[in-house]
Amino acid sequence: MTATTTRTGDGAPTGDGSAPSRAATSRKSPKPARGGAGSDAFVPGPTPTASASSPVTAAQARASQTPSPRAGQRETMTGAASIVRSLEAMGVDVVFGLPGGAILPTYDPLLDSPSVRHILVRHEQGSGHAAQGYASATGRVGVCIATSGPGATNLVTAIADAHMDSVPMVAITGQVGSGAIGTDAFQEADIVGITMPITKHNYLVTNPDDIPRVIAEAFHLAASGRPGPVLVDVTKDAQQATTTFSWPPTFDLDGYKPTTKPHARQVREAAKLIAAAQRPVLYVGGGVIRSGASDALAALVEVSNAPVVTTLMARGALPDSHPNNLGMPGMHGTVAAVTALQKSDLLICLGARFDDRVTGLLSSFAPGAAVIHADIDPAEISKNRRADVPIVGDARETISALVPALAAQHEAGKRADLSQWWRQLEQLRSTYPIGYDEPEDGSLSPQHVIERIGQRSGPDTIFTSGVGQHQMWAAQFIRYEKPGRWLNSGGLGTMGYAVPAAMGAQVGVPAATVWAIDGDGCFQMTNQELATCALNDIPIKVAVINNSSLGMVRQWQTLFYEGRYSNTDLHTGAAVEMGSRIPDFVKLAEAYGCVGLRCERPEDLDATIEAAMAVTDRPVVVDFVVHRDAMVWPMVTAGLSNDAIQYARGMTPVWDREESTNPETVRDDSAQDERTGDTDAPAGPDAAGGGR
C-alpha cells in the first residue's frame, strides 16, 4: 500500500478569519519562508489548562500540541490503534465524532484510551463546529471524527467555516478500502478532492506506517503559521492492517516555513508613518485574537494614542471600555468606527484582510489613507487593498516590535498632534452611539434581551452566536472586555454554528459560563446537539432570539423588496396571529433533557435570565419571544460606499469631504431609493448575498 499526500497551499494565517487567496489554495507546494517545521523528530509538550478568568494564550495552547524532541519505542498494533496512540501522544484530551463503517476500526481502540475522551454528537456538522468552539476557546487544536461518504461530507460546512475563520482543527475521516477507491463503492466520496479548496492541507492515508507522521504533521500544520483545518482521510484497510508504531515520528515539510518574525526594516518604516500620521486608525482583525496579541495591542495603543476599530472576529482584542476603542467597523459597525476609517490618512491593519463587509465598495474605502498591512499570510497582503508598507509576520511579534520602534520615533521628536482628530471622533461617538428603540406594543426588544444577558453574565462569559440579526446585536450590545470570549462564524456565516460551538467551548473551558445567542432559524439547524450536551453534562445556556422569522433576510426584504416576505416566516410563535408555536422551544428543550424557559414580557426579562444562570447541572434553553420587526442599525448597504452609512432608516450623517464639519447635520434619505439614492450602485441583496 502507498500513502498519498495532498497539499493545498502554504496555510499561513491572516488572522481576521478569512480564506486565503486563490494563489494560497493552489495545489503547488508552499512557498519557502523563514521559520516553521524542520526535519527533527517530535512529541508533544505539556498540556496547559484554561480557566474562564485566566486562559492560556493561543500561542501557549498551540505550543502544547507542537511536538518536541524525545526518544520513542516501537510497538506492533493496527493502523487504527496507531491513530489513537498518535492522538494520545499529541496531547489530545477530547474528540467530537460519530462512528460509521469506514471509521469503525478506529472506534474500537478509542474505547480503551485512558486520556482521549470521545463525545458522541448527533450530526457530523455538530462535531466540526464543536471542534471549532473548543479550539477558539482554548487556543488548542480541535479534533473531529467522521466516517466515509455522507459522514465526511457532513463535515464540509464546518471545515469551510474553520478555513474562513482561521481555526486550528484536525478532521479525521474513514475511507473505503484502498482497492475500492474510484469504484463508486458504498459510502464512497472523494473527501480529499471535495475539501481541497477549504483545507489548509489534506491527506489520503493508505499505508498504516504513515499514520504517526501524518497525524503529527496535521497538528503542526493546523496550529502553526495561519491556523486552519487539516483533513486526514484514512482507508479502512489501512486502519485494519498491522503496523509498527513508533513515536516520535520524523517529518520534513519541505517548503512550509511560515514567517513569524517581521522584517525589522518594514517595522521601522511603519513606525515612521504612524508617528507622522494626523488621522491614524488601528484596524484590528481576528489575527490579534488568534496570536494572543491583545496585551501587545494595548501597549501599541498606549504608545500611539491612535483610535482602534475591532472587526467582528476581533471583538475583545481591546476592551470595549478602553477610551480608544471606537467599536466594530463595517456593514453594521458604529458610525464612529466606519467614519474613522473613511476619513483616516493611515490605516494600520493588523491581522485583518480588507473583506467586503468592512470596506463596503472597495474603490471608495478610506480614499485618503496610506496602508500598513501586517499579516502572517503573505497572500492576504495587497490582495484587496495595496499596502504601502507590507509586513509579513505573526501579529504578536509584529505588534511587539512596533511598540519600541514607535517609541523611538517619539523620543526623536517625531510625533503628530492627534488632538483635532480625536475631537472629530469624540463628536461622532457622542452624536451617534449604538442604540435602539423599545417596541411601542410593549413586546420584548431583542437588543435589550441581548444587552441584559451580557450585563448579568459578566466579562468572563464565553458567547457564541449563530448568523444574522442576533449575531450583529450580540456583537454590538455585549461589552467584550477580554479576548476569546466571542466566538462566531464570521467569514462563512454558518447558520447552526452557535449551539455546537458553545458545546465545544464549554468542554474546553468547563469553569466558564457559556451562552449561545441564537436565532430561531439557526437554532433549528443544529439543536439536536442539546441531546449531546444533556447526556455529557455540558451545561451550556441557549438564548433563542425568537422573532418567528429568518430575521436578517426579513430585514432585507423590508428594505429592498418592498416588504414582500417570501419564505421567511418560521411559525415559531413570535407573532400572535401565527397561532401555535411550531416547534415549541420550551417543550423541545425538555424533550432533550434540558431546562426550558420562556420570556415574552420586558418585566420578566431579568428574572428569566437569573433563572437560567442559576442552572449549572444541565443545559438551559430560553425562548425569548421578541418583536419581529426590529432591525439592525447602523447599516451600510452591500455594494455601496461606507460614506452612505445610515444610523437609522433613511438617516445618513453628512460630512464635508474637504474639511471636517459638525456631523449632527443629517440627511433624510427616506424619500430616496432604498439603496440611499445611488442608482448606479448594485442593489444590496444582489451585490453580496443577503446573509441570514
Whether 431 and 663 have beta carbons less than 8 Å apart is answered as yes
Q: Verify cis geometry, omega within 30 degrees of 0, for the bond prior to 248.
A: yes
Comparing C-alpha atoms, which of 161, 283, 331 is closest to residue 687? 331
Is-catalytic flag, 562?
A: no
Is-catalytic flag, 447?
A: no
Whether 576 and 602 have beta carbons less than 8 Å apart is answered as no
Cα–Cα dist 264/169, whole Å: 32
Residue 502 is placed in which grid cell?
458553545
Q: Is 363 helix (H, G, I), strand (E, B) or coil?
A: helix
Residue 509 is placed in which grid cell?
473551558
Instruction: Please say whether the dihedral angle defined by the alpha carbons of residues 238, 243, 248 and 252, taken in this order, is positive or negative.
Output: negative
Cα–Cα dist 277/271, whole Å: 10
Query: Residue 71 carries which DSSP code?
Result: -
Q: Which of 169, 175, 200, 236 is flagged as catalytic?
A: 236
Comparing C-alpha atoms, which of 46, 30, 217, 130 is closest to residue 504? 130
Is-catalytic flag, 503?
A: no
Pairing between β-strand 201-205 and β-strand 4-7 as defined by DSSP bridges:
antiparallel
Cα–Cα dist 652/375, whole Å: 33
Cα–Cα dist 571/587, whole Å: 15
Whether 474 and 543 have beta carbons less than 8 Å apart is answered as no
Whether 653 and 429 have beta carbons less than 8 Å apart is answered as no
Whether 620 and 612 have beta carbons less than 8 Å apart is answered as yes
Q: Which of 31, 77, 187, 674 is flagged as catalytic?
A: 187
Comparing C-alpha atoms, which of 628, 645, 637 is closest to residue 689? 637
Pairing between β-strand 541-546 and β-strand 514-519 as defined by DSSP bridges:
parallel
Alpha helix stretches (DSSP H) within 519-619 = 520-526, 529-535, 551-560, 585-591, 605-614
Whether 330 and 358 have beta carbons less than 8 Å apart is answered as yes
CB burial readout 156-194, b (16+ within 10 A) else e: bbbbbbbbbbbbbbbbbbbbbbbeebeeebebbbebbeb
Phi, psi of 94 (to 5 degrees): -150, 140
447558520: which residue's cell?
495
DSSP E strand boundaries for 612-671: 620-625, 651-653, 666-668
456593514: which residue's cell?
331
Q: Which of 196, 552, 631, 635 is flagged as catalytic?
A: 552
CA-angle at 354, arms to 303 and 463, nearest 5°: 75
Phi, psi of 339 (to 5 degrees): -70, -35
Whether 156 and 149 have beta carbons less than 8 Å apart is answered as no
Is-catalytic flag, 600?
A: no
Whether 611 and 586 have beta carbons less than 8 Å apart is answered as no
Q: What's the half-sphere exposure (Cβ side, CA atoms, 13 Å) at 40?
A: 13
Cα–Cα dist 99/423, whole Å: 60
Q: What's the half-sphere exposure (Cβ side, CA atoms, 13 Å) at 579?
A: 1
Helix (H) or strand (E) holding 400: helix 395-411
Q: Which of 124, 217, 397, 451 is flagged as catalytic?
A: 124
Is-catalytic flag, 664?
A: no
DSSP E strand boundaries for 274-359: 280-284, 308-310, 346-350
Q: Which of 186, 420, 610, 664 is flagged as catalytic?
A: 186
Round the CA-based radius of gyration of the chain to a whole number and report it.
Answer: 25
Cα–Cα dist 190/194, whole Å: 6
Which residues are tagged catalytic?
124, 186-187, 236, 552
